[in-house]
Structure 1
Amino acid sequence: MLDTPLAEVPLVSMKTQAEDPDGFAQAFGSSFQRFGFAMVSDHGVPQELIDRAWRITKEFFALPEDYKRQYHIPGGGGARGYTPFKTEIAKGAALVDLKEFWHIGRDLPAGHPYSAVMAPNVWPDRPEGFKETFLELFAAFDAAGDRLLSAIARYLGMAPDWFDPAVKDGNSVMRLLHYPPVPADAPEVRAGAHEDINLITLLLGAEEAGLQLLDKDGRWLPVKPPEGAMVVNVGDMLQRLTNHVLPSTTHRVVNPAPERRHVPRYSMPFFLHPAPDFLIKALPQCVTAENPEREPPITAHDYLAERLREIGLKN
């Protein structure tokens, strides 16, 4: 192993975006191009809302297993409601992940054209305030994601609002994640090495150690944001759209040190997706003689279905 210190994912503040949108776009986009990851402070999601969401998340996962399982939808691909412990598996992995989770999607009005492929939400009757809190948090994540996509558009030399029609009524998903305490002899890990499917992921809860990205030199780099900051990473859809100029970096959540194996871990990723009928095709400015178009066009819906089958959430 080299003696040089590991590189660090930079921390960028969204406070600077209003006064210097090009400067913020350069800092954020450069981090994406180098690591496939960035850490973002001052993201605009209210701390009171985050604190309330953590409390309700912990209360929900502490409920009895038979209660939670009544919200599991067999054949639903985990799109909404509860997915039990040891269900999801990383693409190509031999062992399932040590996690359980709940998915919340976009609430669509009756008769919306996307309702055929975007399932309605499922809401538990406890803990109190679950629905109201997570609809509010979904909207806050959505707004922060739009601002970050605007920065990516600027970084790529496109109009700041280029992504707006692509993600309007997009099939985004918010995941409430619980990693229970890990037995000392567990052969599995909390989340096996994988890449995300979507455009970008916005993650709260990475302050607890465990998240690592696979750097370009083949070493695992810990990603541990300061308190209150968000981790943001490139998903496979954005990698495909940018013809791999922005990389969807492999990452994982490793098991804690022996002295912390009794401590559960919680996180809240927001997987920002485009609309189901959005065509993922390499942007012209990302295709060059040195970097020819790598993959054929595909709709976001077809790509999502393909990937869900690979990770065991859809047959």
Structure 2
Amino acid sequence: MPVPVPELGSYNFVPETKEDLDWADLITLDFSLLKTPEGKKELANTLIKAVREDGFFYVKNFNISQERVNRQFALGRQFYELPLEEKLKYVPEGLDEGKFNGYVPAGRRILDPVSGLRDRVEMYNIPKFNGDFKHEHPALVQEHLEEIEQFARSLSTEVLQPLHNLLATALELPEDYLLRIHDYDQKSEDHLRYMKYTKFTPEENLKLGKLWGRGHTDLGSFTLLFRQPVAALQIKNHKTGEWKWVKPQDGTLTVNACDALSFLTGGYVRSTIHRVASPPKDQEHVDRLGLLYFQRPNNNAVLHTIQDSPVLQREGYTQNDFEKSGNPVPTMEQWTFAKQKWQRTPNIVRGVDEKHATAQILPGWNEKIYA
């Protein structure tokens, strides 16, 4: 029988933690400054500092209402209330080979080899709306697909395009330089994600060492994370190597730079190492719902270091790891599915399968253990 489509209703966020955590002091980009040439120059300088030092930063005043954001959280909540058998109909064929659009069920990783505790992370990935991808979804999602498309496209125009313009300016490139390889109308593996972390008990969290997910980097260009108040995200500072908590900030997006930008800039832009810890005690009793957008260059873009940037030439960032090793430089499509296949390997035991943790993704690139 078809599953009825519920009304979205309102979305109420849980209270923020009252614990005094070791918060990261992150830079905020205020997009209201985009209105003037002086403001754009200031933002370009701020952005390059952020992606060089912390890797994570906040964006505010990005012209997407909180009401629209809340509706997406409400959709995510409703999706995860669907029966498991309904969600399992949308597991992508080839999940173990790196496919990811659709539903990724929890329990694919063993977090504690002694107790056998597995991850409780579920994902639902919705690809681009540029005509390259089939959109077959549960009735709940299908019913709101036009709204989801408008939301996803607005992330491109209101957030990602300005970020690439600013980054190009900071690298002394033409303003549209990076936009050419991040064209929404071209095929790329961008996706919007509803992501749920189901809670563990306090006793289970102790067995997990209070860590739900190991340190890692994202494979694309920028990841957008909408504010939700359950503290769990931690980042590793590029300079000090210290792990710091990322504080939810009202009316902001949390953004991080990823692997593809690091390759394109020969390591000048740093791909940020981050992980998911168990929430503090006053939030340990709730599930954590995430709303994210993962942006990637066009599939046919070759991840060579940009040679046209006077900044990269002056600073000596002229080769990425593939180029230094003499191995072929992959296209974004090759890189995406090589790393996704590694990420989606089932039944890996954390802390035991260290060969997997440091596996070769492609000739010229091995993953690393980030704790």
1:205 to partner: Cα distance: 2.9
Q: Which amino acid aligns with 1:86?
A: G
1:132 partnered with 2:146? yes
> Structure 1 stretch 260-269 or stretch 179-188: which is displaced more?
179-188
Could you say which residue in structure 1 is the equivalent of 2:168? 153
Structure 2 vs 1, CA of residues 208 and 259 (structure 1 numbering), >3 Å: closer, same or farther? closer
State yes or no: 1:272 paired with 2:295.
yes
Aligned partner letter, 1:212: Q
Superposition misfits of 4+ residues, deviation over 6 angstroms: none
Correspondence 1:227 to 2:253: no
Q: Is the 8 A contact 1:39 1:225 kept in 2?
A: no
Alignment-derived partner of residue 127 in structure 2: 105
TM-score by length of 2: 0.75
* Corresponding residue of 1:34: 53
Q: Mark the CA change 1:95 to 1:149 in structure 2 (over 3 Å): closer, same or farther.
A: farther
Q: How does 1:160-309 map to 2 (within 5 A)?
A: 160-168=175-183, 169=186, 170-184=188-202, 185-186=204-205, 187-188=207-208, 189-215=211-237, 216-284=239-307, 285=309, 286-287=312-313, 290-291=316-317, 293-295=319-321, 296=323, 297-309=329-341
Which letter maps to 1:39? Y
Q: Tell me the distance in 1 between the aligned counterparts of 2:63 and 2:180.
A: 22
Deviation at 1:171, TM superposition (A): 2.6
* C-alpha displacement of 1:98: 3.0
Is the 1:85–1:99 contact (alpha carbons within 8 Å) kept by the matching residues of 2? yes
Unaligned 5+ runs, structure 2: 1-21, 324-328, 347-360, 362-371
Instruction: Report the Cα offset of residue 73 of structure 1.
Output: 1.8
**Do the aligned residues in 1 keep the contact of 2:221 with 2:258 (CA within 8 Å)?**
yes
Deviations 1:226-269 (A, max 9, x none): 11200111110001111111100110111112332221111112
Matched with 2:350 is: none
Q: 2: CA distance between counterparts of 1:288 and 1:12?
A: 26
The TM-score, its normalising length taken from structure 1, stands at 0.87
SS at match of 2:140: coil
AA at the equivalent of 2:140:
R
Partner of 2:29: 12
Aligned to 1:112: none
| Residue 129 of structure 1: how far off its partner (Å) | 3.8
Seen in structure 2, the aligned counterparts of structure 1 residues 40 and 125 have a Cα distance that, compared at 3 Å, is same
Q: Distance in 2 between matches of 1:49 and 1:89?
A: 36
Shift of 1:291: 4.4
Q: How many aligned residue pairs are there?
A: 300
Q: Which residue of 1 aligns with 2:105?
A: 84
Residues 191 and 293 in structure 2, CA contact (< 8 A), matched pair in contact too: yes
What is residue 134 of structure 2 aligned with on the other side? 120
Superposition CA RMSD, Å: 2.5
